[in-house]
Amino acid sequence: MALVLYNPQPRLLSSFHCTRPFFRNHQKKDLHFTSATTKLRLILSIHSSHRRRVPLLLTKSASINGYSVHEGSDEYVQGLRETEVVSRNEWLQRWTDFVRSILPGGNWWRLDDDDVEIRMLAEPVTVTRALIRMWELVSKDRWVIFAAFATLIVAALSEISIPHYLTASIFTAQSGQIPVFHRNVKLLVVLCVTAGICSGLRGCFFGIANMILVKRMRETLYSALLRQDISFFDSETVGDLTSRLGADCQQVSRVIGYDLNLIFRNVLQGAGAMIYLLILSWPLGLCTLVICCTLAAVMLLYGRYQKKAAKLTQEYTASANEVAQETISLMRTVRVYGTEKEELGRYDKWLGRLADISFRQSAAYGIWNLSFNTLYHSTQVIAVLVGGMSILAGHITAEQLTKFILYSEWLIYSTWWVGDNLSSLMQSVGASEKVFQLMDLSPSDQFISEGVKLEKLIGCIDFTNVSFHYASRPTVGLSGSGKSTLVNLLLRLYEPTSGEILIDGISLRKLDVKWWRERIGYVGQEPKLFRMDISSNIRYGCTRNVTQEDIELAAKQAYAHDFISALPNGYKTLVDDDLLSGGQKQRIAIARAVLRDPSILILDEATSALDAESEHNVKGVLRSMRSDMASKRTVIIIAHRLSTIQAADRIIVMDSGKVVEMGNHKELLHKDGLYARLTRRQVDVVA
């Protein structure tokens, strides 16, 4: 009997004197009472790691939960009985609820998706629709599919014929029919060799089809992602997209090479076995057919459950990848702030959910195996009972019963394999849902529309009543006043909410995007270099033919040639994150922009990571580029360091997304506005 002694308000034991606390935790406790002449002895067992018993002495006047505990008290005995009845009822209720929840269809089997956001971009993908999409991807090499299924049919028919000739050979040998025995053995050898050769070719062709499918799927998905608007990548995470390209595409690739391969083989063999059983004995055949239909019903429910589980596994895996990728990319920040345990907790959260889904999948697989083995052995029992009575009645022979048992086992195992592979097929289809939805995304209008190409680009830029807002990013303060947003609009990474941008008097929307971007050189505040050699990084995106001398000249103009030449392999050095400093990466990015010989050069805080000497040298490059009459160009510089822009022809001062001042350096100082205040602050900081 267990008596709960917990109430946050009144004391549970009165007239009780003890120098130590009654109990130190709220774990399970057992109370044992023994009668005494003048005292009651209460043994309180605290179930802890030490499992010790603490004896407590109560006086005659003690009470528990309002009941008197003096010897012989009827109120005390009645209270104990009532508490015992309530505890027993609660125990039975809990066990009843538990058993009800773990039965098939109970609450424990529910796969809740509240912990993860599953965005439905289109209608759910069915098995038929998924197979059609996969056929579209591999239809160019349809000869591989046809060859695979042709060898599958020959192998399946050969294998299903083997039990017949195997049994016939044994019984003809027993009966002494030597010519028939030799004929059966020869046919058996031919069937075995044919089945072996065709099975090998089948595996080879299906493997090739599998390789083609995963390659085309990844190519199509990657191409679709590259053609999306920038706003799409603002709402999607890198970990999620790489998970779709990696694990999900690999899971989908199992459909042709593994799932369909085994499903079609076992369907053919199962159908052949069923026909043979009905020919041998239609009563036994019907009994076996009923068992297989029952197994198929369980198989269908199991497949649906696995499909939903696969979808959740896909989402949880993507979420875990996001956490891991973010943590590893920000490892220095994690190490400095000592948040390793917190990051491990975030990762363990998703691993726990994956383990929970896997546990339920394993339990469902156990029920599926239980159903199969029960029905399989039922078939054996029915075959022996009914077949034995048929032999005794003279309706069938021992040879026919042996063939029936072999083919009934073949039919049951074929049904099991179909169910098992159908479950795997459902998981693959569940994983393919998000992949196909991403593949079906319409490309950005910038990639499908052809615009105007100007004969000569002068570089006159005019923002006419332009307004813009990000979907999920506020713009406040001086650091978020909209300077970089103007650059994003000018590069057509985003489209204005209203108004228009004119280039030489023509709307930017009407210009051909590819042609327009080829004439722009851009250097961002945090330039990203690709994992390729430095020469390729400088040449990256340049459409005209350039030589190594052109690359080195651009590097010299960006004052990057000296440190590049000092590297072990010079311009052939492979770029690594830890190889170059931030200032060196920025100078390589500037050399990349200079090499394009752009009509419009945009520097978005491009000198923020440079030292004073390098910044002075880059300013000289900018002045020479601006004064070069042979290649007159527009240079747009965004900077918080005002010394960088003092020589500009026109300075535009922005605050909270609006233009507040405009003019050259002297004019703005004379106005004594925001620009003048910022200039004085920076001078005071330097001083």
Per-residue pLDDT tens digits for 330-361: 887 788 778 888 888 888 888 888 888 888 88
Residue 199, helix vs strand vs coil: helix
On whether both 461 and 346 belong to a single domain, the answer is: no
On whether both 148 and 261 belong to a single domain, the answer is: yes
- Which candidate, 523, 663, 668, 547, places its Cα nearest to that of 600? 523
Per-residue pLDDT tens digits for 357-375: 888 888 888 887 887 788 7
CB proximity list for 638: less than 8 A, separation 6 or greater: 483, 484, 487, 602, 603, 604, 605
* Residue 36: inside a domain: no
Rounded to 10°, the helix 398-439/282-329 angle is 30
Specify the pLDDT at position 108. Answer: 63
Of 155-164, 208-217, 223-232, 637-646, the least confident: 637-646
Per-residue pLDDT tens digits for 417-426: 887 787 778 7
* Residue 316: inside a domain: yes
* Residue 267: inside a domain: yes
| Number of domains, the chain | 3
* Distance separating alpha carbons of residues 289 and 280, to the nearest angstrom: 14
Q: Are 605 and 640 in contact (CB under 8 A)?
A: yes
Specify the pLDDT at position 353. Answer: 86
On whether both 468 and 611 belong to a single domain, the answer is: yes
Angle at 463 between CA 460 and CA 466, to 5 degrees: 165
The DSSP result for 219-269, as a single string, is HHHHHHHHTS-HHHHHHS-HHHHHHIIIIIHHHHTHIIIIIIHHHHHHHHH
On whether both 368 and 438 belong to a single domain, the answer is: no
pLDDT band at 192 (very low <50, low <70, confident <90, very high): very high
* Distance separating alpha carbons of residues 287 and 385, to the nearest angstrom: 12
- Which candidate, 69, 434, 412, places its Cα nearest to that of 240? 434
On whether both 430 and 479 belong to a single domain, the answer is: no
On whether both 463 and 566 belong to a single domain, the answer is: yes
Higher pLDDT, 336 or 477: 336
In CATH, what number is assigned to the domain containing residue 197?
1.20.1560.10
On whether both 482 and 598 belong to a single domain, the answer is: yes
| Burial of 657 per CB tally in 10 Å (0-12, 13-18, 19+) | middle
- Which candidate, 226, 229, 254, 256, places its Cα nearest to that of 241? 226
Q: Which amino acid is at 75?
A: E
On whether both 484 and 586 belong to a single domain, the answer is: yes
Query: Domain range spanning residue 291?
Result: 282-395
* Distance separating alpha carbons of residues 155 and 197, to the nearest angstrom: 8
For 486, half-sphere exposure in the C-beta direction (CA atoms, 13 angstrom radius) is 25
Using CA atoms, how far residue 57 sits from 37, 70, 651, in Å, is: 13, 12, 89
CB proximity list for 134: less than 8 A, separation 6 or greater: 213, 217, 252, 255, 256
| Burial of 524 per CB tally in 10 Å (0-12, 13-18, 19+) | middle
Residue 7, helix vs strand vs coil: coil
Report the mean per-residue pLDDT for the chain: 75
Sign of CA dihedral 544, 548, 551, 556: negative
* Residue 656: inside a domain: no
* Residue 52: inside a domain: no
* Distance separating alpha carbons of residues 248 and 318, to the nearest angstrom: 10
Per-residue pLDDT tens digits for 271-319: 888 888 888 777 777 877 888 788 778 877 877 777 778 778 878 888 8
| Burial of 489 per CB tally in 10 Å (0-12, 13-18, 19+) | buried
On whether both 330 and 414 belong to a single domain, the answer is: no
Q: Is the pLDDT of residue 118 over 60?
A: no
- Which candidate, 400, 583, 437, places its Cα nearest to that of 122? 437
Specify the pLDDT at position 359. Answer: 85
On whether both 252 and 293 belong to a single domain, the answer is: no
Q: Are 83 and 66 in contact (CB under 8 A)?
A: no
pLDDT band at 655 (very low <50, low <70, confident <90, very high): confident
Of 30-34, 178-182, 428-432, 461-465, the least confident: 30-34
* Residue 557: inside a domain: yes
* Residue 629: inside a domain: yes
Q: Are 418 and 263 in contact (CB under 8 A)?
A: yes
Q: What's the DSSP call for residue 632?
A: -
> If residue 503 lies in a helix (H) or strand (E), which one and from where to where?
strand 498-503
Q: Which residues pair with 663 in a beta bridge?
A: 651
Higher pLDDT, 379 or 145: 145
pLDDT band at 189 (very low <50, low <70, confident <90, very high): very high
Angle at 111 between CA 106 and CA 114, to 5 degrees: 125
Rounded to 10°, the helix 261-280/282-329 angle is 170
| Burial of 410 per CB tally in 10 Å (0-12, 13-18, 19+) | buried
Q: Is the pLDDT of residue 407 over 50?
A: yes
In CATH, what number is assigned to the domain containing residue 514?
3.40.50.300
* Distance separating alpha carbons of residues 233 and 211, to the nearest angstrom: 29
* Distance separating alpha carbons of residues 344 and 326, to the nearest angstrom: 12
* Residue 64: inside a domain: no
Q: What's CA 606's distance to the chain center, in Å? A: 35
Specify the pLDDT at position 628. Answer: 58
pLDDT band at 153 (very low <50, low <70, confident <90, very high): very high
On whether both 264 and 413 belong to a single domain, the answer is: yes
Q: Which residues pair with 13 in a beta bridge?
A: 64
Residue 354, helix vs strand vs coil: helix
Backbone phi, psi, residue 145, to 5°: -65, -45
Q: Cβ atoms within 10 A of the Cβ of 94, count?
A: 10
Assign residue 70 a region (left: φ > 0; alpha: ψ between -120 and 50; beta: otherwise). beta
pLDDT band at 620 (very low <50, low <70, confident <90, very high): low
Q: Are 414 and 269 in contact (CB under 8 A)?
A: yes
pLDDT band at 68 (very low <50, low <70, confident <90, very high): very low
On whether both 236 and 289 belong to a single domain, the answer is: no
Specify the pLDDT at position 648. Answer: 79
Q: What's the DSSP call for residue 604?
A: E
- Which candidate, 468, 528, 458, places its Cα nearest to that of 497? 468
- Which candidate, 167, 229, 221, 156, places its Cα nearest to that of 194? 156
